[in-house]
Amino acid sequence: MSGDEVLYERRGAAAVLTIDRPQRRNAIDAAAAAGLRRGLEEFEADEAARVLVLTGAGGEAFCAGADLKAMDLDVDHPGGPLGFTRLTPSKPAIAAIDGWCVAGGLELALWCDLRVATPASVFGCFERRWGVPLIDGGTQRLPRVVGMGRAMEMMLTGRAVEAEEARQIGLVTEVVAPDRHLERALELAERIASFPQETMLSDRRAALEGAGLPIGDGLELEHRLGREVLAVAASGAARFAGGEGRHGRGV
């Protein structure tokens, strides 16, 4: 799938979704939001696509958020103004970030499970400067990723957070060499895709759905989901007992 605003391609086990509006720092207008939704739908429908990699074209920005010049986003869309930010993918997603990742762009990155960034990347709730609210998941996901204290400071001050600080506070999974963000995201995608999928997806679901629950309810959720994949666990244990993976080999 391809379009004027968003590009979709398969790369090994990954589906790469690229915001292709470099002339607008990959800011999202209504057409781009629709393209992101279509890309997610195609990813979900493709069983062979194990991981979604979200990135931006042009080398200057991952995404600068909503296109404030267009002002044509549907704030009431069930998928979210920026496309899919009110949806949860059934499979992992990785943000490959180079350059500006601010305002709604930061919210798109937070939608992903992992974030890989270059040293030139900059993060922040820049919409604070223009009186624009965080309505693409930022108020809910940022505290879950970096903790309430750091999240509140970022949201209230709107300051710029550089890549290394973002790594230190857990906002970024890792900082990689310039121009290597997409390559590294694809490497991580292949590693994730190499594991037994049923248990990996079950653990991911338990973590995501249990994040806001009382500990007892979260443990019950983990128990219920874990029991559903015990056959896969038994198969893996049998392979280990047979000598596979000893001393960390293959890990």
Supply φ then ψ for residue 34, to 5 degrees. -65, -40
Supply φ then ψ for residue 158, to 5 degrees. 65, 20
Q: Residue 226 is encoded by which pair of tokens?
A: 């874990």
The C-alpha atoms of residue 101 and residue 204 are separated, in whole angstroms, by 25
Residue 122: its H or E element: strand 122-124
The C-alpha atoms of residue 109 and residue 97 are separated, in whole angstroms, by 8
Q: Residue 47 is encoded by which pair of tokens?
A: 């069983």
Residue 127 bears catalytic tag: yes
Residue 107 bears catalytic tag: yes
Q: Which amino acid, 98?
A: D
Residue 11: its H or E element: strand 6-11
The C-alpha atoms of residue 203 and residue 223 are separated, in whole angstroms, by 10
Among 44, 47, 60, 127, the one annotated catalytic: 127
Q: In 144-213, which ranges are E strands?
A: 161-162, 174-175
Among 9, 41, 107, 183, the one annotated catalytic: 107
Based on C-alpha coordinates, what's the Rg of the chain? Answer: 19
Secondary structure (3-state) at 124: strand
Catalytic residue set: 107, 127
